[in-house]
Amino acid sequence: MARTKAQFKINGGVHPSYHKGLAAAKAIADMPLPALLRVSMSQHLGAPAQPTVAKGDTVKRGQVIGEAAGFISAAVHAPTSGTVKALAPAETATGAKAMAVDIEPDGEDAWVELTTHACWEETDPKQLVEIVADTGICGMGGAGFPTHVKLSPPPEKPIDTLIINGAECEPYLTADHRLMLEYADQIAEGAAIIRKILGAEKLIVAIEDNKPDAIDAMETALKDMKGDVTVLVLETGYPQGAEKQQIFAAIGKEVPSGGLPMDVGAVVENVGTTLAVWDAVVNGKPLTERVTTVTGFPVQTPGNVRSRIGTLYSDLLDFCGGTTGEVAKVISGGPMMGFAQHSLDVTTTKTTSGLLFLAPDQVSEFTSMPCISCGRCVVACPMYLVPSEISQMIEAEDYETAEEISVLDCIECGCCAFECPAHRPLVQHMKQGKSHIMLKRRQKKG
Ligand code: SF4
Ligand code: SF4
């Protein structure tokens, strides 16, 4: 086991105010069961799950209530025992609507029968992948990519490096930090399970240098692990936790345009996802809860809250004592990549890393102005794009040129907009361009 500093520096990036001190020292707190859990069938990338329960059914915790609709999809499980009160479309954090199952908890919190694999070293890797799929695990860092898909690379794409992502580079968020402090041994074992599945020789746990206690904790947890194991210390900066940037920082390889990490022999898993894999394999538990950082200056008691998936944002806030003073903006996730909310009548999913409340003096009102060609967005872009030019193409609805100048490589990190003195809506343009092009591609395919 070695501890090293990252040798490869990512391109661009920014240094926003981190404000992690609001919640970093707060131990994970378990929220009691709320009166209602509204569980979305669309918590992951890919096809939404198909509900398998009806109004009036009784369910147990961990029971499948939505089955995966294809390979790139994920199963959804009841987060507690209780009664299904309704099935109806509900608004998600992105503003889109998706089918959701309302469960009224019975207070028993009774699990379905669980099948444990404490001796996973003797379990076939294919069976371990099936466990990951059956327990509904998807990337918990924000993207929600179904984990069993990542863990099933084709034979022609062997994986030699597994990177466990503990960067948590988004300002304010501290849930992953706390997981590394409080569950280092379990995360280390989860990493060993994933490493076995992939047959990866190298294991790298990447953590930013603003979390020295987490670096120490993971180093201690990994000290007896055999083979090529490294705790990689990343310079603090945004977006060190983005998948492609982290791969470059760790092994100096660039994922090709339009490609996947497996194209350079790497897989990246977030620390929360890794812990969920451990819980699924060792304890047989489907993914029914997660830790969310509830934070921001207006929050009475900011903290890191473990709650059941499907918890209303309003209940999460109540658990943290509500707010004091005026709230100007609420964001699901972090301030750089999260989604602004117009209501707290939305529920958590497997990817709800944070719930952020901003005071009026933290939210600037501005009018977008014409580009002044300062080039700051170009310097900030970690993907070597020219955001100003792409943005202008999207505005002119010239999607063909936008595609030619690589809009699809945009990772929507927000660095360009963060730096733009003209307050151009650069990320909105990127998102608009990408969805337009992808829609056209789907229509062409029929
Ligand atoms: S949002 Fe896209 S264009 Fe802007 S900096 Fe990030 S990757 Fe570059
Ligand atoms: S940062 Fe804004 S003003 Fe400067 S070049 Fe980019 S889009 Fe134009």
pLDDT tens, N- to C-terminus, the chain (446 residues): 899 999 999 999 999 999 999 999 999 999 999 999 999 999 998 999 999 999 999 999 999 999 999 999 999 999 999 999 999 999 999 999 999 999 999 999 999 999 999 999 999 999 999 999 999 999 999 789 999 999 999 999 999 999 999 999 999 999 999 999 999 999 999 999 999 999 999 999 999 999 999 999 999 999 999 999 999 999 999 999 999 999 999 999 999 999 999 999 999 999 999 999 999 999 999 999 999 999 999 999 999 999 999 999 999 999 999 999 899 999 999 999 999 999 999 999 999 999 999 999 998 777 899 999 999 999 999 999 999 999 999 999 999 999 999 999 999 999 999 999 999 999 999 999 999 999 999 898 87
- For a substitution probing ligand 2, which of 366, 376, 418 has the most ligand atoms within 8 Å of its CB? 376
Cα of 416 from ligand 1 centre, angstroms: 6
- Residue 374 CB less than 6 A away from ligand 2: yes
Task: Write the residue with the smallest CA distance to atom 3 of ligand 2.
Answer: 371
pLDDT at 325: 86
Helix 125-134 crosses helix 184-198 at what angle (to 10 degrees)? Answer: 120
Tokens representing residue 438 in the block: 């992808």
Spell out a b/e string for 351-389, using b for 16 or more CB atoms within 10 Å of the CB, else e: bbbbbbbbbeebeeeeeeeebeeeebbbebbbbebebbb
Would the CB of 426 count as within 6 Å of ligand 1? Answer: yes
Cβ of residue 371 lying under 6 Å from some atom of ligand 2: yes
Ligand 1 atom 2 nearest Cα: 410
Q: Please give the distance, rounded to the nearest whole angstrom, from the Cα atom of residue 12 to the centre of ligand 1.
A: 10
- Asked whether residue 46 is assigned to any structural domain, the reply reads no
pLDDT at 205: 98
Decide if 388 is inside a domain: yes
Residues 395 and 248 in one domain: no
Domain shared by 276 and 411, yes or no: no
Which pLDDT value is given to residue 397?
Answer: 96
143 lies in a domain? yes
User: Which ligand 2 atom is the nearest neighbour of the CA of 426?
Assistant: 7
Q: What is the pLDDT of residue 446?
A: 72
Are 403 and 260 in a shared domain? no
- Ligand 2, atom 4, lies closest to the CA of 374
User: Considering the domain boundaries, does residue 313 fall inside one?
Assistant: no
Angstrom distance (rounded) from CA 331 to CA 339: 5
Tell me if 251 is assigned to some domain.
yes
Measured at the CA of 308, the angle between CA 32 and CA 239, to 5 degrees, comes to 120
| Distance from the alpha carbon of residue 405 to the mean position of ligand 1, in angstroms | 13
pTM value > 0.85: yes
Per-residue pLDDT, 107: 98
Atom of ligand 2 nearest to the CA of 416: 1
Given 282, 314, 335, the domain boundary residue is 282
Quick check: CB of 383 below 6 Å from ligand 1?
A: yes
Structure confidence at residue 364 (pLDDT): 78
In a domain, 360, yes or no: no
Asked if residue 199 belongs to a domain, the reply is yes
Q: How far is the CA of 173 from the centre of ligand 1 (A)?
A: 21
For residues 390 and 278, state if they share a domain. Answer: no
Instruction: Let me know whether 384 and 274 are in one domain.
Output: no
Q: What is the CATH number of the domain that holds 162?
A: 3.40.50.11540
393 in the same domain as 260: no
Determine if ligand 2 sits within 6 Å of the CB of residue 369.
Answer: no
Domain boundary among 227, 261, 282: 282
Domain hosting residue 216, numbered range:
2-25+131-282
pLDDT at 49: 97
CA of 422 to the centre of ligand 2 (A): 6
Distance between terminal CA atoms of the chain?
Answer: 51
391 and 276 in one domain?
no
Smallest-distance ligand from the CA of 386: 1
Residue of 376, 385, 394 best suited for mutating to test ligand 1, as the one with most atoms within 8 Å of CB: 385
Residue bearing the CA closest to ligand 2, atom 1: 420
- Total structural domains within the chain: 2
Contact call for residues 48 and 136 (beta carbons, < 8 A): no
Substitution candidate for ligand 2 out of 419, 420, 427, 430 with most atoms within 8 A of CB = 420
By alpha-carbon position, which residue is closest to atom 6 of ligand 1? 413
- Count the helix, strand and coil residues of the chain and give each as a percent rounded to the nearest 5: 30, 25, 45
* For the CA of 374, the nearest atom of ligand 2: 4
Radius of gyration of the chain (CA): 21
Q: What is the pLDDT of residue 143?
A: 81
- For residue 368, report the distance from its CA to the centre of ligand 2, in Å: 11
Boundary residue ending a domain (264, 282, 300)? 282
Which class for 209: exposed (0-12), middle (13-18), buried (19 or more C-beta within 10 A)?
A: middle
Residue 315 forms part of a structural domain? no
Ligand with the closest atom to the CA of 416 = 1
Cα of 312 vs centre of ligand 2, distance in Å, is: 38
Q: State the pLDDT at residue 1.
A: 85
**56 exposure class (CB count in 10 Å sphere: 0-12, 13-18, 19+):** exposed
